[in-house]
């Protein structure tokens, strides 16, 4: 709930207004108690109110005010007791009913709070404070429709508390457009944590977890004490796989806001997975106190009792739950297990049959999507925590995926398990499919297709370490397939083993990955990211240009292109926030170059230079674009780049190659020599210098430079082509012939491996000119 409503409660824990000190009987002790109360001397006020009540126990005002003092001290139990005693004398007093409801609210007794606030609102339909607080109770119980019905009749102009509660409910109820309108009203008063929290919630609803993370992080920055902000930040961290920080956020939320349902629930689920059952149970019980009828929480408690051997407690919970929620598959699975452990085989068989029937019905209704393996590329990741546990806790039972049936594990044949695994995978029941594939592979470890599906399913569930092990098994059976190496590279990427990832992804491309497939796109994208990170931005751009033509204006590809064009040694996730505007503009310019939209590319490049005129690589990138159509202007851009970045090797090489093209070798010599001096391990620099020396009739020096370049890049067709010409010039005909044959072979391999034109800067490289 917003801090606005919390403030509202504090202002209402005061005297009821029904009577005044002057109207009270006695010797002035009531007036003294009120004065102490209002001055902030709460302990003194408690003593004075009690002294007065010993003589006048029927005083509604004194009893209510005593409750207000206890509430102000945070002693809600005693506050509730005093409000109830006051209501014994005046059970229709709306102010006392409200304060009692607020005390229940603050002590996490949300259902009791809602019942009392509803009574207040029935007596006073225009009571906005009661309406907002009752709406927040419904919000906490997940009853978004009740919130919108309750608050929509009220004018929300200049009422941030009402705007916040109503907007949040609309967004959670999938009415994002209406919710956004209320966010905009809040933002008119300036940036606020409440607005950022609502925007983040909307992004979460749309599965844009990275975007949600940014909004929630901003909300935390603006107001770290805003109730629910750490809870939602934790959920976004969980969705992006950061379990440690997620738990820290949930704990922080509960320090500030002990009645947050989600934080209690998720802490219970995460602790249960760590087998810290005692701690987990405490959190589940608090979540159940907030939402007593929650099927997901009740299931979690029942399953926990089963895990700890408390079969009678588990039986009571799960029997009642399956009666109320007859389509809750996981509950039937757990209940069947309880029956078998209690030696009640007939009951266990009956619930096992219910599980099979529900699974069959869900499979018949489920869509059959194609396997998706590009979620990390698109940023669409979910939690690394156990997905089945999370889904069972959060989703209505009719929509949960069925759990695997563990009861036939020891007797099923390989063929039966393989068939069931395939059916579960096609029905998009990943958790069940994983378990079935594991069982099938125990019976037949040489089943390479099973290892592939197990690995990809685990990868989609963000279980990358397990996925890597499964794919490694596949590769041990079929090492000649590029597909397995591509998946292994993607797993290593997610595990942050970047050098190994790049090695496996490059091996996959060498062996071959079927073109125009998701795996081909994703593996090339991640290979490009790593090439850029390891200082080979132009090689990365070769890959990204082809992807840009295939994938249209993908934000992920644009970001990667911007990073590589600027030669920043970052992955997208590592990009500093202050670089984002620069990278965005650079990426857009590169996208237009890749897709041959020349007018747009020029305009975007000029806008980039106008905004960031002194940023390294901006002029170089524009120069590469200009090179084919206006080489004079391109050379000027390269020289401007050198004024900004004096050690810029690629700019020197572009100038050198342009002079080679013009047969003005003497002008290019200094640039090529400086490039070799700055980067002696650059085969492109050796190529440029060798070719210039050859044309200046310094053949032996040329051969030395070109042979040095060949040692650096033995698989480069351009180096073999240049060496062949030098050998020919020196009269070494046999050496020249061998070099030409090697050039033809490598050139043929490159042409086969490429998927269309992939030239950097929107320009095909000059024949014989190596990319830097």
- Of the pLDDT bands very low, low, confident and very high (cuts 50, 70, 90), residue 26 is low
Closest of 559, 623, 621, 548 to residue 591, by C-alpha: 548
Q: Looking at the predicted structure, is the pLDDT value of residue 333 above 60? A: yes
Question: What are the Cα distances from residue 700, in Å, to 693, 696, 716, 739?
Answer: 9, 11, 21, 17
pLDDT score recorded for residue 688: 94
CA separation for the pair 687, 683 (Å, rounded):
6
Q: Which of 584, 578, 580 is nearest to 604 (CA)?
A: 584
Worst-scoring range by mean pLDDT, 155-164, 187-196, 264-273, 390-399? 390-399
Between 240-249, 457-466, 562-571, 750-759, the lowest mean confidence (pLDDT) is in 750-759
Q: What is the pLDDT of residue 731?
A: 94
What was the pLDDT predicted at 7? 40
Would you state the pLDDT for residue 390?
Answer: 45
Contact 117, 99 (CB under 8 A): no
- In whole angstroms, what is the distance from residue 397 CA to residue 295 CA? 7
Average pLDDT over residues 266-282: 87
| Other residues' Cβ atoms within 10 Å of the Cβ of residue 248 | 15
> Which of 7-21, 496-510, 749-763 ranks highest by mean pLDDT?
496-510
Give per-residue pLDDT as tens, 667-715: 999 999 999 999 999 899 999 999 999 999 999 999 999 999 999 989 8
pLDDT at residue 480 in the model? 83
Q: What is the largest CA-CA distance in the chain?
A: 124
Location of structure tokens 């592979």: 441
pLDDT digits (tens, 9 = 90+) for 43-60: 898 998 898 988 888 888
Q: Give the C-alpha separation, 635 to 637, whole Å.
A: 5
Q: Which residue spans within 148-195 are E strands per DSSP?
A: none
Q: Decide which of 535 and 693 is more confident.
A: 693
* Amino acid 149: pLDDT: 84
Give 130's contacts (C-beta < 8 A, 6+ positions apart): 98, 101, 117, 120, 121, 124
Looking at per-residue pLDDT, the higher value among 402 and 675 belongs to 675
Please say if the pLDDT value at position 408 is more than 70: no
Whole-prediction pTM value?
A: 0.47
Q: Give burial (CB, 10 Å; 0-12/13-18/19+) of 125.
A: exposed
647-762: CATH topology is 1.25.40
Q: Which residue has the higher pLDDT, 3 or 219?
A: 219
pLDDT tens-digit series, residues 473-519 = 998 888 888 899 999 999 999 999 999 999 999 998 888 888 778 88
**Would you list the domain boundaries of the chain?**
3-205, 647-762
Phi, psi of 395 (to 5 degrees): -95, 150
pLDDT at 170 (0 to 100): 76
From the number of C-beta atoms within 10 Å of its C-beta (0-12, 13-18, 19+), residue 523 rates as: buried
Other C-beta atoms lying within 10 Å of the C-beta of residue 419: 14
Each residue of 114-173: pLDDT tens digit?
A: 888 899 888 888 888 888 888 878 877 778 788 888 887 776 666 666 776 777 777 767
CATH homologous superfamily of 3-205 equals Tetratricopeptide repeat domain (1.25.40.10)
Tell me, yes or no, if the two domains 3-205 and 647-762 fold the same way. Answer: yes
pLDDT band at 5 (very low <50, low <70, confident <90, very high): very low
Q: Whose CA is closest to 593, among 581, 579, 577, 608?
A: 608
Indicate whether 636 pLDDT > 90. yes
Tell me how far CA of residue 146 lies from CA of 102, 127, 138, 170, 673, in angstroms.
19, 17, 7, 11, 75
Indicate whether 283 pLDDT > 80.
yes
**Mean pLDDT computed over every residue of the chain:** 80
Terminal Cα distance for the chain, rounded? 56
* Residue 294 pLDDT greater than 50, yes or no: yes
């Amino acid at each position: 709930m917003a801090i606005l409503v919390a403030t509202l409660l504090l202002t209402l824990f005061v005297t009821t207004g029904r009577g005044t000190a002057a109207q009270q009987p006695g010797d002035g002790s009531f007036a003294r108690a009120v004065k102490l109360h209002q001055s902030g001397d709460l302990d003194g006020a408690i003593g004075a109110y009690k002294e007065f009540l010993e003589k006048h126990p029927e005083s509604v005002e004194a009893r209510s005010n005593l409750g207000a003092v206890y509430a102000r001290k945070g002693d809600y139990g005693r506050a509730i007791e005093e409000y109830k005693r006051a209501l014994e004398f005046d059970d229709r007093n709306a102010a006392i009913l409200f304060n009692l409801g607020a005390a229940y609210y603050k002590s996490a007794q949300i259902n009791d709070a809602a019942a009392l606030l509803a009574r207040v609102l029935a007596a006073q339909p225009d009571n906005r404070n009661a309406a907002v607080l009752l709406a927040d109770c419904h919000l906490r119980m997940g009853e978004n429709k009740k919130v919108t019905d309750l608050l929509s009749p009220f004018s929300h102009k200049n009422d941030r508390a009402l705007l916040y509660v109503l907007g949040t409910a609309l967004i959670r109820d999938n009415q994002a457009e209406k919710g956004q309108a209320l966010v905009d009203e809040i933002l008119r008063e300036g940036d606020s944590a409440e607005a950022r929290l609502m925007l983040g919630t909307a992004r979460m609803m749309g599965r844009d977890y990275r975007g949600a993370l940014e909004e929630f992080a901003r909300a935390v920055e603006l107001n770290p004490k805003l109730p629910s902000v750490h809870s939602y930040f934790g959920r976004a961290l969980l969705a992006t796989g950061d379990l440690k920080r997620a738990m820290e956020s949930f704990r922080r939320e509960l320090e500030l806001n002990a009645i947050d349902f989600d934080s209690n629930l998720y802490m219970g689920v995460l602790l249960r997975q760590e087998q810290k059952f005692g701690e987990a149970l405490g959190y589940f019980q608090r979540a159940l106190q907030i939402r007593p009828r929650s099927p997901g929480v009740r299931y979690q408690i029942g399953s926990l009792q089963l895990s700890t051997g408390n079969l009678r407690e588990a039986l009571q919970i799960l029997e009642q739950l399956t009666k109320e929620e007859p389509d809750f598959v996981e509950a039937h699975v757990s209940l069947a297990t309880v029956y078998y452990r209690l030696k009640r085989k007939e009951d266990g068989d009956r619930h096992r049959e219910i599980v099979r029937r529900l699974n069959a019905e869900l499979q018949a209704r489920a869509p059959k999507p194609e396997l998706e393996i590009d979620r990390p590329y698109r940023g669409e990741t979910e939690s690394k925590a156990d997905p089945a546990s999370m889904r069972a806790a959060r989703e209505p039972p009719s929509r949960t995926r069925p759990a695997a049936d563990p009861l036939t594990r020891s007797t099923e044949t390989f063929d039966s398990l393989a068939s069931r695994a395939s059916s579960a995978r096609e029905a998009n029941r990943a958790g069940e499919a994983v378990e079935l594939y594991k069982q099938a592979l125990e019976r037949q470890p040489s089943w390479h297709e099973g290892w592939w599906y197990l690995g990809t399913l685990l990868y989609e569930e963000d279980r990358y370490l397990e996925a890597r092990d499964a794919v490694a098994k596949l590769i041990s059976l079929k090492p000649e397939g590029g597909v397995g190496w591509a998946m292994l590279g993607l797993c290593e990427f997610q595990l942050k083993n970047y050098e190994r990832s790049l090695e496996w992804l490059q091996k996959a491309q060498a062996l071959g990955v079927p073109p125009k497939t998701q795996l081909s796109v994703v593996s090339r994208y991640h290979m490009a990211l790593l090439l850029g990170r390891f200082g080979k931005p132009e090689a990365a751009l070769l890959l990204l240009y082809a992807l840009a033509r295939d994938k249209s204006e993908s934000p992920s590809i644009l970001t990667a292109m911007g990073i590589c064009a600027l030669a920043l040694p970052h992955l997208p996730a590592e990009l500093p926030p202050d670089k984002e505007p620069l990278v965005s503009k650079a990426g857009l310019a590169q996208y237009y170059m890749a897709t041959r939209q020349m007018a747009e590319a020029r305009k975007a490049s000029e806008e980039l230079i106008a905004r960031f005129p002194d940023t390294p690589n901006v002029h170089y990138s524009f120069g590469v674009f200009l090179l084919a159509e206006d080489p004079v202007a391109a050379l000027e851009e390269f020289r401007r780049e050198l004024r900004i970045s004096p050690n810029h090797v690629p700019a020197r090489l572009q100038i050198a190659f342009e002079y080679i093209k013009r047969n003005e070798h003497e002008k290019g010599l200094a640039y090529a020599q400086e490039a070799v001096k700055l980067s002696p391990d650059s085969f492109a620099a050796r190529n440029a210098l060798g070719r210039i020396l050859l044309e200046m009739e310094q053949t032996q020096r040329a051969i030395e430079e070109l042979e040095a370049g060949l040692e650096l890049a033995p698989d480069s067709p351009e180096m073999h082509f240049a060496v062949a010409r030098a050998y020919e010039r020196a009269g070494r005909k046999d050496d020249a012939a061998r070099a030409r044959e090697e050039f033809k072979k490598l050139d043929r391999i490159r042409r086969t491996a490429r998927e269309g034109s992939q030239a950097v800067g929107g320009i095909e490289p000059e024949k014989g000119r190596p990319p830097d």
